[in-house]
């Protein structure tokens, strides 16, 4: 059969990371390639109890179709948490529950991007956003990340040269780099996008996973009408629920609701009910503290092991939270070549190239530290360092 696929899908590659995950499925493999939260922290018993309670007390309603915007008590809970945790005042009326924050990216692409529209990204950038916006034939311009956030000079130049429909950023513990924007960098970036009138997507799946440093000002707080914020329960409760949200002002919210209705009517309603029940019956802050304490130790172990086994001419980021760190190999050393050698040694990471929009072979790579215990981290890092030293 000669399938005549749309132009929209034809140029978009499969996620490289999902492909690597298949290779690393062998249990003797050490994988720093995934982007998964640690399953040991899934609150299994509590979710079982929450599910039983919802089904027993209100099962027939909970299994019915529901409204596109999402379960109102859950939206109120999220609004209240923004107020308490970040000092941001958002109305539950401006929160749309989505099928993971990934759907938020798809919906934003649908309502904003025409073919050829400019989208400003961080470099390296989140692969899922590159993939979501590629479907709408966006033209990407990526500005490098530096230690303290966006490279301000290069961002200013990019904004002077072109008009952008969207600026997409992950200011807290970015995927893939682990970088967080400093307070000063945030204010400078906010000033630039405010002057340019560009809509910003502030994606914050990792913000609550801080193990070092202090909370920084959200872009949503600085520019409430210009910033669309994405959030998710994937990293603090469990990703299988596929429950995230978008915070957007009235006009944008209305368009998002139309796009969401067309996509899937509403997010899994029973899942929303169970997660809400779980949240009100349990101490989520205590749960998050357990996760961050463990991730902090894992990150420490990885940084130490890199210091022990790697030569001095590599560079790494030192994340204050989240699940990833980013390594830069010496100039001219290919991370794809290193990856292939590492596969033989049964250890995996993600080579940097898929996180760039226009670069092939690069000397950077992403390491995930949230899913391996400390002994495994040490062993895996040792194997990568040996592979790097081998000719
Ligand atoms: C930066 C970023 N945004 C969005 C997502 C999607 O998360 P979810 O759809 O599970 O909410 C991820 C997942 O890894 C991510 O790293």
Which tens digit of pLDDT belongs to each residue from 248-260?
999 999 999 999 9
Task: Tell me: pLDDT of 14 over 80.
Answer: no
- What's the pLDDT score for residue 28? 83
Q: Note the pLDDT of residue 26.
A: 78
CA distance 359 to 354: 8
**Would you place residue 4 in the very low, low, confident or very high pLDDT band (cuts 50, 70, 90)?**
confident
Predicted TM-score (pTM) of this structure:
0.96
In angstroms, what is the span from residue 389 Cα to ligand 1's centroid?
34
User: What CA–CA distance (Å, rounded) separates 378 from 359?
Assistant: 30
What lies within 8 Å, CB to CB, of 184 at 6+ separation is: 148
> Which atom of ligand 1 is nearest to 174's Cα?
1
Q: Among candidates 262, 180, 252, 174, which has minimal Cα distance to 217?
A: 180
- Phi and psi, residue 163, nearest 5°: -95, 140
What is the per-residue pLDDT across 66-78, written as a single tens digit (0 to 9) for each? 999 999 999 999 9
Distance CA 267, CA 274 (A): 13
Pocket test for ligand 1, best of 15, 42, 102, 127 (most atoms within 8 A of CB): 102
Q: Which of 62-76, 173-187, 346-360 has the lowest mean pLDDT?
A: 346-360
The verdict on the CB of residue 203 being under 6 Å from ligand 1 is: yes
Give mean pLDDT, residues 352-372: 93
Distance CA 239, CA 185 (A): 30
H/E element holding 324? strand 324-328
Alpha carbon 73 to chain centroid, angstroms: 25
| 176 cis-preceded (ω within 30 degrees of 0) | yes
Considering the chain, what percentage of its residues have pLDDT values greater than 90?
91
Question: Looking at the predicted structure, is the pLDDT value of residue 56 above 80?
Answer: yes
Q: Across the strands, what pairs with 146?
A: 149
Bridge partners, 367 (sequence order): 325
73 Rama class: left (phi>0) / alpha (psi -120 to 50) / beta: alpha
* Contact 363 CB / ligand 1 (< 6 Å): no
User: Can you tell me the mean pLDDT for 192-200?
Assistant: 97
Length reported for the chain:
391
22 pLDDT more than 90? no
Closest C-alpha to 193, from 174, 175, 166 = 166
Average pLDDT, the chain: 95
Strand order in the sheet with 199-203: 95-99, 243-247, 227-232, 199-203, 166-169, 118-123, 139-146, 149-150
Rounded distance between C-alpha atoms, residue 381 and residue 347, angstroms: 9
Among 7-11, 116-120, 165-169, the range scoring the smallest mean pLDDT is: 7-11
Q: Residues 6 or more apart from 339 whose CB is under 8 A from it?
A: 348, 349, 351, 365
CA atoms of 12 and 367, how far apart (whole Å): 24
Ligand 1 pocket, mutate which of 129, 205, 321 (most atoms under 8 A from CB): 205
Q: What spacing in Å lies between the alpha carbon of 250 and ligand 1's midpoint?
A: 24
Q: 282: Cβ–Cβ under 8 A, 6 or more apart, which residues?
A: 43, 46
* pLDDT over threshold 80, residue 163: yes
Mean pLDDT of 126-139: 95
92 Cα–ligand 1 center, Å: 22
What sections of the chain are H helices per DSSP?
7-10, 16-23, 44-62, 72-86, 100-112, 127-134, 152-161, 183-196, 219-222, 250-264, 269-281, 284-309, 335-344, 374-389
SS3 assignment, position 21: helix
pLDDT (average), residues 217-227: 97
CB atoms within 10 A of CB 126: 23
Instruction: Point out the ligand 1 atom lying closest to the alpha carbon of residue 126.
Output: 1
What pLDDT was estimated at residue 24?
67
Give the mean pLDDT of 140-165.
97
> Is the pLDDT score of 21 beyond 80?
no
* 8 A C-beta contact, residue 190 and residue 184: no
Q: Which residues pair with 232 in a beta bridge?
A: 244
Binning pLDDT at 50, 70 and 90, where does residue 15 land? low
- The pLDDT, as a whole number, for residue 9 is 86
322 lines ligand 1 (CB under 6 A): no
Calculate how far, in angstroms, residue 177's C-alpha sits from the geometric centre of ligand 1.
14
Confidence band of 12 (pLDDT split at 50, 70, 90): confident
User: What pLDDT shows up at residue 391?
Assistant: 65
Per-residue pLDDT at 260? 98
pLDDT reported for residue 10: 80
The answer to whether the beta carbons of residues 349 and 364 sit under 8 Å apart is no
CA of 3 from ligand 1 middle (Å) equals 31
């Amino acid at each position: 059969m000669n399938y005549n696929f749309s132009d929209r899908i034809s140029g978009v590659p499969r996620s490289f990371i999902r492909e690597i995950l298949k290779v690393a499925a062998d249990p003797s493999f050490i994988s720093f390639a995934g982007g998964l939260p640690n399953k040991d922290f899934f609150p299994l018993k509590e979710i079982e109890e929450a599910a039983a309670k919802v089904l027993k007390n209100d099962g027939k309603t909970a299994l019915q179709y529901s409204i596109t915007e999402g379960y109102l008590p859950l939206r109120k809970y999220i609004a209240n948490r923004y107020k308490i945790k970040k000092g941001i005042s958002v109305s539950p009326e401006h929160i749309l529950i989505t099928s993971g924050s990934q759907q938020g990216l798809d919906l934003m692409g649908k309502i904003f991007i025409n073919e050829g529209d400019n989208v400003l990204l961080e470099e390296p950038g989140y692969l899922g956003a590159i993939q979501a916006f590629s479907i709408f034939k966006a033209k990407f311009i990526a500005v490098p990340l530096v230690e303290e956030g966006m490279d301000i000079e290069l961002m200013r130049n990019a904004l002077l040269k072109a008009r952008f429909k969207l600026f997409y950023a992950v200011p807290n513990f970015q995927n893939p780099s682990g970088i967080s924007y400093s307070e000063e960098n945030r204010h400078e970036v906010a000033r630039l996008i405010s002057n340019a009138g560009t809509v910003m997507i502030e994606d914050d799946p990792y913000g609550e996973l801080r193990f070092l440093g202090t909370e920084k000002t959200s872009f949503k707080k600085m520019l409430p009408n210009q910033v669309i914020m994405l959030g998710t329960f994937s990293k603090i409760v469990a990703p299988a629920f596929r429950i995230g949200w978008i915070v957007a002002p009235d006009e944008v919210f209305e368009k998002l609701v139309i796009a969401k209705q067309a996509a899937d009517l509403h997010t899994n309603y029973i899942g929303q009910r169970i997660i809400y029940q779980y949240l009100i019956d349990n101490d989520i802050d205590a749960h998050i503290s357990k996760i961050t304490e463990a991730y902090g130790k894992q990150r420490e172990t990885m940084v130490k092991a890199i210091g022990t086994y790697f030569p001095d001419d590599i560079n790494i980021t030192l994340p204050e939270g989240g699940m990833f760190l980013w390594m830069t190999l010496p100039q001219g050393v290919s991370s794809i070549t290193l990856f292939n050698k590492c596969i033989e040694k049964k250890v995996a990471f993600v080579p940097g190239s898929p996180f760039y929009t226009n670069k092939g072979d690069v000397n950077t790579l992403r390491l995930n530290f949230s899913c391996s215990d400390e002994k495994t981290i040490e062993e895996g890092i040792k194997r990568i360092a040996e592979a790097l030293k081998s000719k």
